[in-house]
Amino acid sequence: MSKKRLSIVDIANNLNISKTTVSFILNGRAKEKRISTEMVDKVLKYVKEVGYKPNSLAKSLRTGKSNTIGLIVEDISNPFFGSIARLIEDRAYKNGYKIIYCSTYNDMQKTRDMINMFRDRHVDGYIIAPPQGVEEDIASLINESMPVVLFDRYLPTIDTDYVVVNNQFSAYNATQYLVGQGYKNIALITFANDQTQMVDRIRGYQMALKEHGLKQLIKELPFAEDLTESITAFLKSRKGIDAVLFGTNRDATYGIKIMHNLGIRIPEDIAVISFDDSDAFELHSPPITTVAQPVEDMAEHIITILLDKLNNNGVGTKNQSIVLHTDLVVRGSSQPVKK
């Protein structure tokens, strides 16, 4: 049972032909090389029979292609990234690509290490939700004409493909909506970093408030494992708040838990809107209004662009910036203020 794996040489020997012939047949170049149909059939039959599998490592070494895509997300256990990963994986496999993945937790050093590891492993292309500080590494990837697609956020100083959503408008729109519902003291609670999606969300929030002459109230969360303390402190100290927009699902999940603990009622005491939709928000009582990102579309665009580059060898294809639109999913957590 535990036979040694056969190589192309073994099968050539057993059939008394050359390994070149086998190689050509296996790679579907029989026609091109005008190999006789009988030969082809014989080889194919034998290969099936003995269950021969080519050694993809050797193939990769020779061809320089690994048929692997490196997927770098922020946190695979976050449903937003999990869903995207799942969809990308599916499409990739259907096109003969495997996925190697990792989570960065927005850690620049870890991300750089991972990029290097992936480079080491000769991945054919990269899909990255980049933290700040990896511009150089990504630039050098691109320099080596590696296909790189960024998503969720992009790097302003790097010219490459990316797929994001219209974060600024989305935040603007969500805030406008809260104002329209009668809220006057709208806070933004969000993880603070310089990533484009965050900057844009903050800007959108600010624009909406400015438009109505309302006061801004931004709580920038620290880079921390646990956000309980900082959010609790904020919510306790600011008694006037009547609505909160959360910058990410993670922030909101913490925030809502804390509101429960503090006995803050949603939306009677504080209305809530979060970025990123999820079951948790839909199930909540009252259900949470969210800015839903079009996860399927994002994944679809990301993988399509990447496969395109992979197939065209990156030649002649212009970089694309895809900006998708979100949906404001209105639910009970943002009901009109009752007088």
Contacts within 8 Å (CB) and 24+ apart, 50-53: 50/6, 50/11, 52/6, 52/8, 52/11, 53/5
- Our CB check for DNA shows the closer of 68 and 278 to be 68
The answer to whether residue 49 forms part of the interface with a second copy (CB under 8 A) is: no
The answer to whether residue 94 forms part of the interface with DNA (CB under 7 A) is: no
Residue with tokens 């839909």, as numbered in its chain? 282
Query: In angstroms, how far is CA 265 from the centroid of its own chain?
Result: 33
Query: What is the nearest approach in angstroms of a second copy to the Cβ of residue 268?
Result: 13
- Our CB check for DNA shows the closer of 21 and 274 to be 21
Query: What is the nearest approach in angstroms of a second copy to the Cβ of residue 51?
Result: 10
Task: Pick what 227 binds: DNA, a second copy, none; C-beta below 5 to 8 Å, kind-dependent.
Answer: none
Q: Tell me the pairing of strands 161-165 and 148-151.
A: parallel
The answer to whether residue 303 forms part of the interface with DNA (CB under 7 A) is: no
Residues 107-126 that bind a second copy (CB under 8 A): 114, 116-117, 119-122
The answer to whether residue 35 forms part of the interface with DNA (CB under 7 A) is: yes
The footprint of a second copy on this chain (CB under 8 A) covers a number of residues equal to 52
- Our CB check for a second copy shows the closer of 70 and 204 to be 70
Part in contact with DNA (CB under 7 A); list of ranges 51-59, 168-176, 269-277, 300-308: 51-59
The answer to whether residue 59 forms part of the interface with DNA (CB under 7 A) is: yes
Q: Report the interface residues with a second copy, using CB under 8 A.
A: 1-2, 53-58, 60-61, 66, 68, 75-79, 82-83, 85-86, 89-90, 93, 98-103, 114, 116-117, 119-122, 140, 143-145, 253, 256-257, 260, 278-280, 282-285
State the residues that interact with DNA by CB under 7 A.
Answer: 5, 7-9, 16-21, 23-24, 26-27, 33-36, 39, 54-55, 58-59, 61-63
